[in-house]
């Protein structure tokens, strides 16, 4: 009933994010956690947090989400190295003012094909950077939106919010020859 691509940590994150009333501890294994989630499915209560990163509204939505594969793609080393080499080539193209003469690409179609391939791996920071740089290219009319899993999207939003918060707890005033330097903490 629950797709095998979900790890124990993924299931724990889902349970905590949705406030699912499943009691567990970290010493249980993945199978036991899956059994508890299936038992929760058969209970008639509807206690899911509505505002969440997964856009899950009900218990039925939760189990439809769990039956499909995990959107947070797990890739092997060989695939990741291939994606990273494509990203390096595309970033080189972008850093050289979108000029094909400085790259290994023969045409813009080759770049578009590679971008369409790598944008499915938006959890990798280099892929997100490639999409951002390629969206600035005036030669290509496509917009490339990386596919990002809900967990990474939530992490990026939290990081963005924390960078925007300005902490004003230090005030420094320059001194004159008559007055010493004053440092004040609020």
Q: Parse the chain into domains and list their residue ranges.
A: 8-67, 77-134
Comparing C-alpha atoms, which of 1, 13, 4 is closest to residue 38? 1
What residues contact 1, with CB distance under 8 A and at least 6 apart? 34, 38, 41, 63, 66, 67
Looking at mean pLDDT, say which of 126-135, 145-154, 156-165 comes out highest. 126-135
At 172, is the pLDDT very low, low, confident or very high (cuts 50, 70, 90)? Answer: low
Residue 66 has pLDDT above 70, yes or no: yes
> Which has more confidence, 21 or 117?
117
Q: Tokens 């939530």 belong to which residue?
A: 154
Task: Enumerate the β-bridge partners of residue 185.
Answer: 170
Confidence of residue 25 (pLDDT cuts 50, 70, 90): confident
Average pLDDT, the chain: 86
pTM for this predicted structure: 0.68
Judged on CB neighbours under 10 Å (0-12, 13-18, 19+), 93 is: buried
Within the chain, residue ranges assigned H as helices are: 8-18, 30-42, 59-67, 77-95, 108-118, 125-134, 150-164
174/121 Cα distance (integer angstroms): 50
Confidence band of 185 (pLDDT split at 50, 70, 90): confident
Q: Which residue has the higher pLDDT, 36 or 170?
A: 36
Residues written for the chain? 186
Q: Is the pLDDT of residue 179 over 80?
A: no
Of the candidates 53, 62, 69, which has an alpha carbon nearest to the alpha carbon of residue 21? 62
108 neighbors 141 (Cβ within 8 angstroms)? no
Instruction: State the pLDDT at residue 54.
Output: 81
Q: What is the pLDDT of residues 88-132, one digit of tens each?
A: 999 999 999 999 998 889 999 999 999 999 998 999 999 999 999
């Amino acid at each position: 009933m629950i797709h095998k691509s979900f790890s124990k940590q993924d299931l724990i994150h889902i349970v905590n994010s949705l406030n699912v009333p499943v009691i567990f501890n970290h010493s249980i294994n993945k199978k036991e956690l899956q059994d508890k989630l299936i038992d929760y499915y058969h209970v008639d209560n509807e206690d899911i947090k509505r505002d969440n990163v997964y856009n899950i509204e009900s218990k039925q939505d939760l189990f439809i989400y769990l039956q499909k594969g995990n959107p947070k793609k797990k890739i092997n080393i060989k695939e990741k190295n291939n994606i990273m080499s494509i990203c390096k080539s595309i970033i080189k193209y972008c850093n050289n003012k979108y000029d094909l003469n400085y790259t290994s690409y023969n045409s813009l179609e080759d770049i578009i094909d590679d971008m369409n391939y790598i944008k499915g791996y938006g959890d990798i920071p280099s892929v997100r950077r490639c999409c951002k740089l390629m969206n600035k290219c005036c030669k290509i009319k496509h917009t490339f939106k990386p596919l990002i899993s809900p967990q990474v999207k939530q992490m990026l939003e939290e990081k963005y919010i924390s960078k925007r918060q300005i902490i004003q707890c230090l005030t420094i005033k320059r001194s004159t020859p008559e007055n010493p330097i004053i440092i004040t903490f609020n």
